[in-house]
DNA sequence: GCGGTTGAGAGAGCACTGCTCTCGGTTCCT
DNA sequence: AGGAACCGAGAGCAGTGCTCTCTCAACCGC
């Protein structure tokens, strides 16, 4: 990328796009997604609000850009953790989960943008899907390795309804390995729990209930790993 | 309540408060929490925006009222489900979880208000806590019954760090029964999974992944019950 | 019953938002 | 060199939360 023949205008444009996104991220950090104001972004950059519309057709378009960037950042963190093959599969799963939490804790507002209530009136366009898929695919990669290594006990099963099996068949085609239904459904369980737990932690639902968030998360990540690998 | 001597003014006030909340709920349904507009509420009621401020000092105060009402509605649904003692403890747990999901699916925007990203700048005042505690307490009541009946296998344990044990000790004092750490921590796991799964379903993260939401939820609620009751 | 106190609605107004449109001036491409 | 594309500025529209003042009706103690 960055083809050598890049006009001055194009360079300036690319830089300004980045500056706008950076300012948007700052806004996100300070006031949250639904308070993100294009005018404030423009003010921060010393330009007039209408000029920003040359770069992003609407507030939602800026939000989408930030959304994709955030998914990519989270996905990169998860992939990096998954690529570290030290230790057993439980350790690797816990490492991926911990990396996700670390990113989420470091970027709570961006996390809220990704996994919180959708911004009303805003519908994420389809091009966010690939980025959104990176974190779960990274995690499932670890499980696929474990299955391939024969380290997943598939004997402990819970009955799966027919309609759900159809969904799982489609899902299996889109993720690494050739995970059996029972394993897929365990992963779905563990995966949603991670984000339920993170939501509770970051959105304050455990306020005055739990203080040892790190311990709780690690404990539950281990439990999740056991559930995924051994079904218990 | 409703003391007999209620002046006409007080009656009118109480009625109008309800009407404003009803209009606010309608707004919530149609445009979501962060787009809820006091002016639109006023318009719908045929009054001028400033008049609404006689009843709610700010938009946030109206949001808080809706928040508490929603927690109460969800809590009532969970409690009703928990009070039905038919079947085994697994069936009762699944019933409570299903009741929670049914309410959430029927009131997605109110659910988002409760468990989605917090509205930025808005901090729920402390008086929302009792209402917010009703759903989990209802669910834990079922588990307490199961423990009392000796139907919980407490032998399968996962190590719990010291700091977390301290949190659990405080939590134990606030919830029904005298649940051991291992059981409490299983409940936390299952509970956060419910809301993680609901968030994924309602906020569109399973779009194009799962269609059989009912089946998935029921399956996972059963898995959760097994995890809580048998630790596996 | 009367008069002071309290509550309620209306309206104007402030500062802010997203977004549109037009108008000059710069840069680019042929 | 000239036409086309692009870009920033400014004005403007409709909407927002919220405040302040004004007026009038309801209340309550005497």
pLDDT tens-digit series, residues A159-209: 999 999 999 999 999 999 999 999 999 999 999 999 999 999 999 999 999
Å: B7 CA to D30 C1': 20
Structure tokens, B17: 């408060």
On average, the pLDDT of chain B sits at 93
pLDDT tens digits for A27-41? 999 888 888 999 999
Å: B38 CA to C8 C1': 17
pLDDT bracket for residue A5 (50, 70, 90): low
Contact between the CB of A7 and strand C at under 7 Å: yes
**Which residue is it, tokens 């939820």?**
B217
Interatomic CA distance for residues B114 and A200, integer angstroms = 11
Name the percent of chain A lying above pLDDT 90. Answer: 87
Mean pLDDT, to the nearest integer, of B1-18? 77
pLDDT of B133 over the 50 cut: yes
Shortest CA gap B182–chain A (Å): 11
What totals of helices (H) and strands (E) does chain A contain, helices first?
A: 10, 0
pLDDT bracket for residue A3 (50, 70, 90): very low
pLDDT tens digits for B21-58? 999 999 999 888 888 999 999 999 999 999 999 999 99
pLDDT of B195 over the 70 cut: yes
Interatomic CA distance for residues A132 and A100, integer angstroms = 13
What pTM does this model have? 0.94
> Which residues does B42 contact at the CB level (< 8 Å), separation at least 6?
B48, B49, B51, B52
Å: B9 CA to D23 C1': 18
On average, the pLDDT of chain A sits at 93
Q: How many CB atoms lie within 10 A of CB A7?
A: 8
Question: Of B180, B25, B188, which Cα lies nearest the Cα of B108?
Answer: B25
Interatomic CA distance for residues A184 and A51, integer angstroms = 48
Name the percent of chain B lying above pLDDT 70. Answer: 95
B/e letters for A150-170, b = 16+ CB within 10 Å, e = fewer, are eebeeeeeeebeeebeebbee
- Write the CA distances from A225 to A73, A153, A232, integer angstroms: 24, 12, 9
Is B28's Cβ below 8 Å from some Cβ in A?
Answer: no
Predicted confidence at residue B4, as pLDDT, reads: 45
Chain B interface test: which of A115, A193, A201 (most B C-beta within 10 Å) = A193
- The residue in chain A having the minimum alpha-carbon distance to the alpha carbon of residue B228 is A232
Predicted confidence at residue A1, as pLDDT, reads: 42
pLDDT of A133 over the 80 cut: yes
Predicted confidence at residue B123, as pLDDT, reads: 66
In B107-210, which residue ranges form alpha helices assigned H by DSSP? 108-115, 129-148, 162-174, 181-202
Structure tokens, B192: 């956060």
Partner residue opposite A116 with nearest CB, options B116, B185, B192:
B116
> B133 to chain A: which residues are within 8 Å by CB?
none
pLDDT of A84 over the 70 cut: yes
Give yes or no for a contact between B142 and B84, defined as CB atoms under 8 angstroms apart. no
Give yes or no for a contact between A195 and B196, defined as CB atoms under 8 angstroms apart. yes
pLDDT of B125 over the 80 cut: no
Footprint of strand D on the protein (CB under 7 A): A 9, 12-13, 16, 46-51, 54-55; B 7-10, 36-40, 49-50, 53, 57-60
Interatomic CA distance for residues B77 and B71, integer angstroms = 10
């Amino acid at each position: 990328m960055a083809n050598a023949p890049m006009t001055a205008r194009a360079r300036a444009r690319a830089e300004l796009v980045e500056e706008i996104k950076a300012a948007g991220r700052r806004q996100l950090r300070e006031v949250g997604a639904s308070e993100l104001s294009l005018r404030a972004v423009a003010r921060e950059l010393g330009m007039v609000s209408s000029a920003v519309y040359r770069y992003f057709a609407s507030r939602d378009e800026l939000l989408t850009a930030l959304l994709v960037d955030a998914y990519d950042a989270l996905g990169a963190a998860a992939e990096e953790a998954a690529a570290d093959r030290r230790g057993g599969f439980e350790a690797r799963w816990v490492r991926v989960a911990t990396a996700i939490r670390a990113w989420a804790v470091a970027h709570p507002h961006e996390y809220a943008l990704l996994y919180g209530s959708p911004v009303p009136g805003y519908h994420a366009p389809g091009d966010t899907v690939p980025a959104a898929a990176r974190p779960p695919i990274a995690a499932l990669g670890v499980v696929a390795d474990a299955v391939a290594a024969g380290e997943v006990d598939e004997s402990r099963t819970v009955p799966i309804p027919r309609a759900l099996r159809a969904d799982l068949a489609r899902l299996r085609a889109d993720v690494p390995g050739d995970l059996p239904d029972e394993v897929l459904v365990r992963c779905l369980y563990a995966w949603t729990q991670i984000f339920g737990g993170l939501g509770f932690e970051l959105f304050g639902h455990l306020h005055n209930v739990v203080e040892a968030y790190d311990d709780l998360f690690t404990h539950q990540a281990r439990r999740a790993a056991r559930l995924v690998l051994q079904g218990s």
